[in-house]
Amino acid sequence: MSKAISKDGQPAVGVYICHCGTNIAGTVDVEKLAKEMAGEAGVVVSREYKFMCSDPGQEQIKKDIKEFGLNRVVVAACSPRMHEPTFRRACAQAGLNPFLMLMANIREQCSWVTKDREQATAKAIAIVRATVRRALWMRPLQPGRAKVKPSTLVIGGGIAGIQAALDIAEAGYQVHLVERNQSIGGHMAELDKTFPTLDCSACILTPKMVQVAQHPNIELLTYHEVEEVRGSVGQFKVKVRRKATCVDNAKCTGCGICITKCPVKKVPSEFDEKMAFRPAIYTMFPQAVPNKPVIDRKHCNYFVRGKCGVCEKFCEPGAINMKDQDSIRELEVGTIIVATGYDLVDPGQFKQWGYGRFPEVYTGLEFERLCNAMGPTSGKIVKKNGQAPGVVGILHCIGSRDENYCKHCSRVCCMYSLKFAHLLREKTTARVFEFYIDMRAFGKGYEEFYDRVMHEGTRFVRGKAGQVLVPSEADADAPEGSMIVVAEETTLGKLLRVPVDMIILATAMGPAQGAKQVSEMLRIPRSADGFFAEKHPKLAPTETPTDGVFLAGTCQSPKDIPDTVAHASGAAAAALHFLARGEVEIDPSIALVRPEMCTACGMCVDVCAYQAIEIDPKRNKAVVNTTTCKGCGTCVATCRATAIELQQFTGRQIYHELTGLLGEAW
Ligand SMILES: Cc1cc2nc3c(=O)[nH]c(=O)nc-3n(C[C@H](O)[C@H](O)[C@H](O)COP(=O)(O)OP(=O)(O)OC[C@H]3O[C@@H](n4cnc5c(N)ncnc54)[C@H](O)[C@@H]3O)c2cc1C
């Protein structure tokens, strides 16, 4: 549907309504919508088409821009997050300033949220009319450019952070790898063997850890934490806290004499899941990188009681420094990769499955340490009384896929439960029962591993364990000291009471402790499950809505090691795009101060979440940092003098948009 060609200087709007297959056209009467828009003031052409984002759709827009001399384009389709760049590019190719193209979201905000065709059509008309009216007041804008610092900050030194750091360093860029513990390695360092190949976890991990430590392009900042992040893509300014270790790594030879001499011996070891003890001066594990001890001030006699200093006395190179203090450093980086990983959800809440009530109930990570040669039992799978278990129950989906705890599937539990069954059969004579809902053996070689474990004699009970009880009269055959796993065998429709003397809980994975603070600091959202949310679940799984900030590994969702490594390499590749380009385009949809109206009251400075506004002391006026401003508009709403305007959302543009939305006369 088209009218006469516009005269010079007159607004000439082209409206393009996308069917999005049946996504929009299934609910909205697109023909009626196109007709209505053709009658709007300033509109010279109004069309509907099956897929506006397709090549023919874009070609039509380009053709119309030239043919009708369009100076505004409105595309009524999906969310601008999906296709704004597509249509901006098409307009630019036809010679129209891309910021004179606006999208009206009639999919997510209209057709997807109702089934009522009449109401949906009425709403779509209001949305598109509002956008057309705003479009009439749009001004051409030019994007800015900013240099990208050729370096990346990686937060978290598990296998995800390690992989991402190595990929970027190998490409020739500087990496600062910040790990809050005193060694890199993350949870993978705690594991014994890895499914499905049963490689020794440390054997495949430690070469990479060493490579990180030795890489000339990687600065390893263990026992550090990120405190503040300012700036934006290309030019992030990051404050990092070095926590006092009381050991000078440059002097320390890693001989370990301080560790053996420390009189405090009974601090529960976090690395061994508190099933063993460590001294107050310690390294996390024998293959730690860096392999230098730290003093745990909360337990060190010198700090708690004010006297000791044995480690200092025995340290020949004089590496102990009790006066060591935390210090802050500022880094400047172009991109940031978040690789903060996961933690198991608190098993203390699983009393019904016996955790904390019975001594022989373990989480998956506790059992990993029990299997490990460097663990509390030197790799012997034994109970607390030193005897091997007779019957072991492995309980799947503890906290996962459960409305009461976490709705999500933790993805790795089925496989590590199978691994445990195999290790139990290999190292003990125990009978093993797996209580499961579904068996999710989705990866390469996983189904084959499942098959192998089945043939090794593990008994699979299809039914989630409901509770763990002390034996009652109903369990006459239960050996003394055993626990009763109660579960419904759903294939037989029978309630089972299985006596066992050891239980392993396949406990749900949740986001790492402190994920909330990281998300606030970096302004990246989290999904309902608490993990960091990616920009797009299918098309941008490593990106975040904050440009230049990427996600790697299990901080985004539960993953096994192969998927973690692949995701981390993806994040590194995405970060490298920015680093290799050397500069970024800055969206011009940002705040602009009208100095003649600014009273320098500073309220905008206080409310800016991005620290993008300062008062210029010479001119006594507010000034916006164009690379840092995100165009959120908080300053605009706060400014009492109406001295700040948001380009692309000026007062006039919004006013006219509202008249369109409310159906007021033009
Ligand atoms: C019991 C169990 C057994 C498993 N067995 C297997 C197996 O056999 N095979 C397999 O493929 N997968 C297995 N997995 C999964 C495997 O553990 C993960 O895929 C892998 O460890 C994820 O690595 P990551 O780097 O994403 O996270 P993590 O290993 O959690 O590493 C994250 C790192 O970030 C650090 N960190 C967190 N927050 C911050 C912060 N704010 N600042 C600085 N540093 C921070 C942490 O200290 C940690 O070092 C198992 C998981 C469990 C629970």
Gap from CA of 425 to ligand 1 centroid (Å): 26
C-alpha dihedral over 113, 118, 123, 124, to 10 degrees?
90
Say yes or no: CB of residue 192 within 6 Å of ligand 1: no
- What pLDDT was estimated at residue 7? 45
For 503, residues 6+ apart whose C-beta sits below 8 A from its C-beta are 353, 354, 358, 360, 361, 362, 392, 393, 394, 395, 468, 483, 485
Q: Whose CA is nearest to atom 27 of ligand 1?
A: 341
C-alpha dihedral over 199, 201, 205, 207, to 10 degrees?
-60
Average pLDDT (74-86) is 95
Say yes or no: CB of residue 45 within 6 Å of ligand 1: no
Gap from CA of 409 to ligand 1 centroid (Å): 16
- What pLDDT was estimated at residue 9? 63
Among the listed residues 192, 595, 636, 207, the one whose alpha carbon sits nearest the alpha carbon of residue 422: 192
CA 552 to chain centre: 7
Average pLDDT (366-378) is 97
Predicted confidence (pLDDT) at residue 639 exceeds the cutoff of 70: yes
Predicted confidence (pLDDT) at residue 665 exceeds the cutoff of 80: no
Say yes or no: CB of residue 559 within 6 Å of ligand 1: yes
What is the distance between the terminal CA atoms of the chain, rounded to a whole angstrom? 21
For 389, residues 6+ apart whose C-beta sits below 8 A from its C-beta are 360, 381, 382, 383, 424, 428, 430, 500, 501, 502
Q: Which of 182, 240, 561, 563, when mutated, tests ligand 1's pocket best, judged by the most ligand atoms within 8 Å of its CB?
A: 561
Average pLDDT (558-582) is 98
User: Hey, what are 350's tokens?
Assistant: 């699983």
Q: Whose CA is nearest to atom 32 of ligand 1?
A: 341
Q: Are 124 and 110 in contact (CB under 8 A)?
A: yes
Coil, strand or helix: which one is 447?
A: helix
Say yes or no: CB of residue 560 within 6 Å of ligand 1: yes
Q: Are 57 and 26 in contact (CB under 8 A)?
A: no
Tokens 């760049």 — which residue?
85
Say yes or no: CB of residue 445 within 6 Å of ligand 1: no
H or E stretch including 267? strand 267-268
- What pLDDT was estimated at residue 461? 97
- What pLDDT was estimated at residue 601? 96
Is the torsion defined by CA of 244, 248, 253, 255 positive or negative?
negative
Domains of the chain: residue spans and CATH: 13-141 (3.40.50), 144-243+326-341+514-586 (3.50.50.60), 257-314 (no CATH), 345-510 (3.50.50.60), 591-647 (3.30.70.20)
- What pLDDT was estimated at residue 8? 54
Q: Are 236 and 332 in contact (CB under 8 A)?
A: yes
Alpha helices by DSSP H, listed for 477-616, are 515-522, 561-581, 603-607
- What pLDDT was estimated at residue 50? 97
Q: Is the peptide bond before 196 cis (omega within 30 degrees of 0)?
A: yes
Q: Which of 187, 200, 410, when mutated, tests ligand 1's pocket best, judged by the most ligand atoms within 8 Å of its CB?
A: 187
- Confidence category of residue 626, pLDDT binned at 50, 70, 90: confident
Predicted confidence (pLDDT) at residue 545 exceeds the cutoff of 70: yes
User: Hey, what are 599's tokens?
Assistant: 């009273």
Tokens 């999710």 — which residue?
440
Q: Which of 362, 370, 560, 569, when mutated, tests ligand 1's pocket best, judged by the most ligand atoms within 8 Å of its CB?
A: 560
Coil, strand or helix: which one is 393?
A: strand
pLDDT tens digits, residue range 219-253? 999 999 999 998 889 999 999 999 999 999 999 99
Among the listed residues 443, 401, 384, 388, the one whose alpha carbon sits nearest the alpha carbon of residue 419: 443
Average pLDDT, the chain: 95
Predicted confidence (pLDDT) at residue 338 exceeds the cutoff of 90: yes
Q: Whose CA is nearest to atom 48 of ligand 1?
A: 186
- Confidence category of residue 663, pLDDT binned at 50, 70, 90: confident
Say yes or no: CB of residue 342 within 6 Å of ligand 1: yes
- What pLDDT was estimated at residue 610? 82
Predicted confidence (pLDDT) at residue 3 exceeds the cutoff of 80: no
Say yes or no: CB of residue 498 within 6 Å of ligand 1: no
Q: Are 342 and 563 in contact (CB under 8 A)?
A: no
Which ligand 1 atom is the nearest neighbour of the CA of 514?
41
- Tell me the C-alpha distance between 61 and 47, whole Å: 10
Which ligand 1 atom is the nearest neighbour of the CA of 160?
25
Predicted confidence (pLDDT) at residue 59 exceeds the cutoff of 70: yes
- Tell me the C-alpha distance between 558 and 341, whole Å: 9
Alpha helices by DSSP H, listed for 221-309, are 257-261, 301-304
Q: What DSSP state is assigned to residue 174?
A: E
Helix pair angle (413-427, 446-455), 10° resolution = 40
For 135, residues 6+ apart whose C-beta sits below 8 A from its C-beta are 13, 42, 72, 73, 74, 100, 102
Say yes or no: CB of residue 157 within 6 Å of ligand 1: yes
Phi, psi for residue 348 in degrees, rounded to 5: -55, -20
Among the listed residues 132, 134, 126, 130, the one whose alpha carbon sits nearest the alpha carbon of residue 33: 126
Among the listed residues 651, 590, 650, 601, the one whose alpha carbon sits nearest the alpha carbon of residue 625: 590
Predicted confidence (pLDDT) at residue 324 exceeds the cutoff of 60: yes
Among the listed residues 34, 44, 86, the one whose alpha carbon sits nearest the alpha carbon of residue 69: 44
Q: Which of 191, 205, 569, when mutated, tests ligand 1's pocket best, judged by the most ligand atoms within 8 Å of its CB?
A: 191
- Tell me the C-alpha distance between 363 and 29, whole Å: 56
User: Hey, what are 320's tokens?
Assistant: 């102990």
Gap from CA of 600 to ligand 1 centroid (Å): 48
Gap from CA of 564 to ligand 1 centroid (Å): 9
Average pLDDT (445-450) is 97
Q: Are 595 and 621 in contact (CB under 8 A)?
A: yes
- What pLDDT was estimated at residue 231? 87
Q: Are 572 and 552 in contact (CB under 8 A)?
A: yes
Say yes or no: CB of residue 553 within 6 Å of ligand 1: yes
Q: Whose CA is nearest to atom 13 of ligand 1?
A: 560
pLDDT tens digits, residue range 119-175? 999 999 999 999 999 999 999 999 989 999 999 999 999 999 999 999 999 999 999
- What pLDDT was estimated at residue 6? 43
Which ligand 1 atom is the nearest neighbour of the CA of 563?
19
pLDDT tens digits, residue range 400-443? 999 999 999 999 999 999 999 999 999 999 999 999 999 999 99
- What pLDDT was estimated at residue 2? 43
Strand partners, 277: 268
Gap from CA of 331 to ligand 1 centroid (Å): 26
Say yes or no: CB of residue 565 within 6 Å of ligand 1: no
Core vs surface per residue 62-97: b (16+ CB within 10 A) or e: bebbeebbbbbbbbbbbebebbbebbbebbeebebb
User: Hey, what are 122's tokens?
Assistant: 């009425």
Phi, psi for residue 342 in degrees, rounded to 5: -135, 170
Q: Are 372 and 276 in contact (CB under 8 A)?
A: no
Say yes or no: CB of residue 28 within 6 Å of ligand 1: no
- Tell me the C-alpha distance between 223 and 240, whole Å: 10
Phi, psi for residue 606 in degrees, rounded to 5: -65, -40
- What pLDDT was estimated at residue 462? 97
Core vs surface per residue 234-273: b (16+ CB within 10 A) or e: bbbbbebbbbbbbbeeeebeeeeebbeebebeebebebbb
- Tell me the C-alpha distance between 398 and 403, whole Å: 11
Share of the chain above pLDDT 90, in %: 93
Q: Which of 412, 440, 555, when mutated, tests ligand 1's pocket best, judged by the most ligand atoms within 8 Å of its CB?
A: 412
- Tell me the C-alpha distance between 622 and 501, whole Å: 70
Tokens 């597509």 — which residue?
86
- Strands in 501-572 per DSSP E: 502-507, 509-511, 549-551
- Confidence category of residue 628, pLDDT binned at 50, 70, 90: confident
What is the longest distance spanned by two Cα atoms in the chain? Answer: 96
Say yes or no: CB of residue 121 within 6 Å of ligand 1: no
